[in-house]
Amino acid sequence: MPADLWPDPNALGPVTDLYQLTMMAGYSASGMADKPAVFELFVRRLPKNRSYLVFAGLEQALTDLLRLGFSDEQVDYVRGLPAFGHVPDSWFNQLRTFKFTGDVWAMREGTIFFGGETVLRVEAPLAQAQLAETFLLASLAYPTLVASKALRCVQAAGGRSLFDFGARRGHGPHAGFLCARASYLAGFDGTSHVEAARRLGIPAIGTMAHAWVQAFPTEREAFTAYARTFPDSTTLLVDTYDTLEGVRHAAAIPETHAIRLDSGDLATLARQARSILDDAGRPDVKIVASGDLDEWKIRDLLAGNAPIDAFGVGTELITSRDAPALSMVYKLVAIDGQGKIKLAPGKKTYPGAKQVWRRLSAAGHFAGDHVTGATETSHGTPLLQKFIHQGELTGQLPDLQSIRAFVQSQSHALPGEFKNLDSAQTYPISYSDALEEEAARLGLTAG
Amino acid sequence: MPADLWPDPNALGPVTDLYQLTMMAGYSASGMADKPAVFELFVRRLPKNRSYLVFAGLEQALTDLLRLGFSDEQVDYVRGLPAFGHVPDSWFNQLRTFKFTGDVWAMREGTIFFGGETVLRVEAPLAQAQLAETFLLASLAYPTLVASKALRCVQAAGGRSLFDFGARRGHGPHAGFLCARASYLAGFDGTSHVEAARRLGIPAIGTMAHAWVQAFPTEREAFTAYARTFPDSTTLLVDTYDTLEGVRHAAAIPETHAIRLDSGDLATLARQARSILDDAGRPDVKIVASGDLDEWKIRDLLAGNAPIDAFGVGTELITSRDAPALSMVYKLVAIDGQGKIKLAPGKKTYPGAKQVWRRLSAAGHFAGDHVTGATETSHGTPLLQKFIHQGELTGQLPDLQSIRAFVQSQSHALPGEFKNLDSAQTYPISYSDALEEEAARLGLTAG
């Protein structure tokens, strides 16, 4: 029988690195499994070309964290691993009934954040908090990458529509779901991914591929047949043979709502297409562009006044070739109330549970973030909220539309220089005296 | 209720671009849905830095293709989309009972292939073959990227062990499964991903993170506690505080099997660690290295004689930053027995169903591939085999161990220059006279 590598969402416990399980067993053997621990999740440095990130994936991560568990079959497997030969039965029995019972603080989904800021904090018995690491990183980093790329596209598109066309270029079929959601929450207008659109309740977009045009004897027949079946949403792909000839064919079809350009010099073709359409008395027909687009290409097309009404973004959205991986980390910052810090050259970090306070200028723009200990107070808005208390959600999670609105309000509050696509900016972040003193006291801030 | 974006493996029909469904409905309305069609899947040009690719993901892709279908809920959703307002009931009813009934030819999983070669061919009623596009691309491109990167690492590692540590850096939690399998079939020795190891029956690897060391008052206590719980597989992470001091602590623990270096100048640290271990009478203790490794770093470490016994590869394996996306395409090449080709500048392709013949030199090395029409014969080994006949597997799919052995034999047959990491090579591919003539006859080979 072929291996089926679709995970079971109700048995995600072992969707993790083995060392999380060895450490859990070891903590248990050492009487430390239930010590109160604090781990924080953050991105140490932003990727090249990024002046900010958009926190995304929280809803799925929290949902899955609360159901993280192990099937009997999975526990038996771990028990059978040679390394676990000396681990007592009692630990495997605990694994069978594993449930996350800790607290989770996090930035609201859709928050714009910066390098070095805690975006999520787990306060839980050590063994539980440890298990969550791989899972949280794998669940949060990717949607954050996509949402961040998507907001850059939205900022570049200056109000034109944007559609997620990434499904086929994802890292496996599941990535398409994550990309559709993350791009929509960052301001995209819809996705070509049918099942994602259905599950999320967002617009599904799409009309035809080149194969449609090729399947008919002529382009004209292909267009006519399409318009007959979909008279209310006829978008015609015009570049299968000769693009401008394709535009003329599309202009002659009364049902045509839009044409799509998918190759060639999009700026020139869009201008030529616009002329042909206008001359044919079809100023109503919109122009959609696609084909290896990213935020820079969108900006350049619009800077050159290309008459494009909507953009489809695929590969560069779903895999962000300029920043395909995010070095998000999850670090132990306290255990038993004692601050902890890993000593590593060039990686200054602060011990203990933290809060991030965002300050606004008089004009309502982000004016700098201030990081304090979690129990300190400061001015500005505290960005980390408690989402899970003792293993239960503290309330309903924000819905996708409200996350989307929140991202747009944040985008407006982000100072203009952080939207510049040509040079990455560093956002001002300061640390409280108490944090500086505690770090100095631990003698670990050198470097 | 939070949106749950885990797909249902038994309802993957709409895990696709919307235009596949509009085209299906349109083909049906135009009386073309059942016309025999041939689509071929290939990579037009290899990514920069790649002289070959390793075909992977076939088992999952075929398994899912054979169960591709739609739940009633999903069909009702599509029916409710405004664009589908004019599509007749009969089509939605067909969708409810959709089943793939065509044939699939493909290269065997693990085959080394090159740009422009058909790696998979679908021969099916037009509507069915069309639906498969997004799904096949999303299922095959990513495992192929990982397996290709992994084999490059294997070739660079010259027999040292390699472990997949990528789980946390994948594009969502599902990518970890795909990466574990694709890297193992390309010659990796195991994965840190517990559930993937369990499902695949491959070695699970891992011991401790920095958090383990930090959770104890001293490194020495942390190491001792670990050795007590896991006396048979004690690998100690030595770089939490002072790396060489960590090596000394590890050397003093009788159970230590290996140490792991995860930061710093790995070549120098490995040499110093080896000396410390040898001087302490512990030549038996192995050295494992990890931390942003890729095939170039592995090669350089070994070229400098760094005494490293095993490598853990994470981010660069699971997201291959130098080639994170693969432009794999799926093109209509024939319908109703007539060859089809899209005219596009600089993209010469050949019409009709094809076969790829691999020729070997007297020494057993790959000597060039020859592409013919599917019904032609040639010499060499035909690489495309029939895996699905009329919607059923033609036999048992190869198991993972035999795929892995096949990749290794292919790697041996690959001429040395294709393993050079510093310059990408172009493999010789020729086309049959019949293909050239048919392409010329269609008048579409210009450019």
Question: Would you list the DSSP string of B196-243?
Answer: HHHHHT--B-----HHHHHHSSSHHHHHHHHHHH-TTSEEEE--SS-H
Lowest mean pLDDT segment, chosen from A158-167, A316-325, A340-349: A340-349
Position A446 scores a pLDDT of: 37
Q: Decide if pLDDT at B105 tops 70.
A: yes
A-contacting residues in B 223-252 (Cβ below 8 Å): 225-226, 228-233, 240-242
What distance in Å separates residue B317's CA from the closest CA in chain A? 11
Q: Give the model confidence (pLDDT) of B242-297 as tens digits.
A: 999 999 999 999 999 999 999 999 999 999 999 999 999 999 999 999 999 999 99
A-contacting residues in B 74-103 (Cβ below 8 Å): 74, 77-78, 81-87
Nearest chain A residue (CA) to B58: A2
What distance in Å separates residue A411's CA from the closest CA in chain B? 24
Domain end, chosen from B275, B294, B318, is at B318
List the structure tokens of A199.
């599950």
CB contact under 8 A, B27 and A62: no
Position A445 scores a pLDDT of: 40
B173 touches chain A (CB under 8 A): yes
Which amino acid, one-letter code, is at B359?
Answer: R
A61 domain residue, yes or no: yes
B1 domain residue, yes or no: no
Q: Decide if pLDDT at A394 tops 70.
A: yes
Q: Which helix (H) or strand (E) holds A41?
A: strand A36-43
**Beta bridge pairs of residue A311:** A162, A289
B384 domain residue, yes or no: yes
B164 and B306 share one domain: yes
> Could you tell me if residue A292 is left (phi over 0), alpha (psi between -120 and 50 degrees) or otherwise beta?
left
pLDDT band at B66 (very low <50, low <70, confident <90, very high): very high
- Residue B88, helix vs strand vs coil: coil
pLDDT band at B445 (very low <50, low <70, confident <90, very high): very low
Q: Decide if pLDDT at A1 tops 60.
A: no
Q: Give the model confidence (pLDDT) of A12-52 as tens digits.
A: 999 999 999 999 999 999 999 999 999 999 999 999 999 99
Which CATH number do you get for residue B286? Answer: 3.20.20.70
Nearest chain B residue (CA) to A337: B215
CB contact under 8 A, A206 and B4: no
Which CATH number do you get for residue B423? Answer: 3.20.140.10
What distance in Å separates residue A110's CA from the closest CA in chain B? 15
Position A447 scores a pLDDT of: 30
Nearest Cβ partner for B193 among A17, A81, A327: A17
Q: Which helix (H) or strand (E) holds A272?
A: helix A266-279
Torsion of CA A53, A55, A60, A64, to 10 degrees: 100
B113 and B177 share one domain: no
pLDDT band at A4 (very low <50, low <70, confident <90, very high): confident
B313 and B368 share one domain: no
Residue whose structure tokens are 């450019």:
B447
Interface test with A, best of B34, B87, B191, B195 (most A CBs within 10 A): B195
Q: Contacts of residue A19 in chain B, CB cutoff 8 Å?
A: 192, 206-209
B253 touches chain A (CB under 8 A): no
A108 and A157 share one domain: no
A307 and A327 share one domain: no
Q: How far apart are alpha carbons A185 and A151 in whole angstroms?
A: 9
List the structure tokens of A288.
């959609």
Domain end, chosen from A290, A318, A346, is at A318
Count structural domains, chain A. Answer: 2
Q: C-alpha A230: how far from its chain's center?
A: 33
Give the list of residues 6+ apart from residue B131 with CB closer than 8 angstroms, or none. Answer: B13, B16, B20, B21, B24, B68, B98
Domain end, chosen from A318, A339, A360, is at A318
- Residue B150, helix vs strand vs coil: helix
Q: Decide if pLDDT at B375 tops 70.
A: yes
Give me the domain span that covers residue B273: 148-318
Mean pLDDT of all residues in B390-411: 97
A201 and A126 share one domain: no
User: How far, CA to CA in Å, does A176 sit from each of A146, A167, B220, B350?
Assistant: 11, 5, 46, 31
- Share the mean pLDDT of chain A: 95
A7 domain residue, yes or no: no
**By the 8 A CB rule, do B254 and B283 touch?**
no
A304 domain residue, yes or no: yes
List the structure tokens of A179.
């990309």
A39 touches chain B (CB under 8 A): yes
Q: How far apart are alpha carbons B53 and B46 in whole angstroms?
A: 8
Mean pLDDT of all residues in A63-84: 96
Interface test with A, best of B5, B60, B79, B313 (most A CBs within 10 A): B5
List the structure tokens of B394.
């033609």
**By the 8 A CB rule, do A276 and A269 touch?**
no
A279 and A330 share one domain: no
**By the 8 A CB rule, do A107 and A384 touch?**
yes
B42 domain residue, yes or no: yes
A283 domain residue, yes or no: yes
Q: How far apart are alpha carbons B226 and B231 in whole angstroms?
A: 8
Q: Decide if pLDDT at A229 tops 90.
A: yes
**By the 8 A CB rule, do A341 and A349 touch?**
yes
B228 and B272 share one domain: yes
Residue whose structure tokens are 């958009």:
A54
B262 and B341 share one domain: no
Complete edge-to-edge strand list for the sheet that includes strand B286-289 = B190-191, B161-164, B310-313, B286-289, B256-261, B234-237
Q: Kindly give the residue spans of alpha helices, DSSP state H, lying in B327-414.
A: 400-413
Phi, psi angles (nearest 5°) of residue B87: -85, 130
Closest CA to A167 of A191, A145, A148, A187: A191
CB atoms under 10 Å from CB of B323, counted, come to 18
User: How far, CA to CA in Å, does A150 sit from each of A304, A314, A408, B379?
Assistant: 21, 11, 12, 50
Nearest Cβ partner for A194 among B3, B16, B207: B16
List the structure tokens of A103.
């607290």
B360 and B389 share one domain: yes
**By the 8 A CB rule, do B206 and A173 touch?**
no
List the structure tokens of A56.
């995304």
Position B446 scores a pLDDT of: 37
A179 and A296 share one domain: yes
ipTM reported for the complex, 2 dp: 0.96
What distance in Å separates residue A63's CA from the closest CA in chain B? 7
A129 domain residue, yes or no: yes
A218 and A196 share one domain: yes
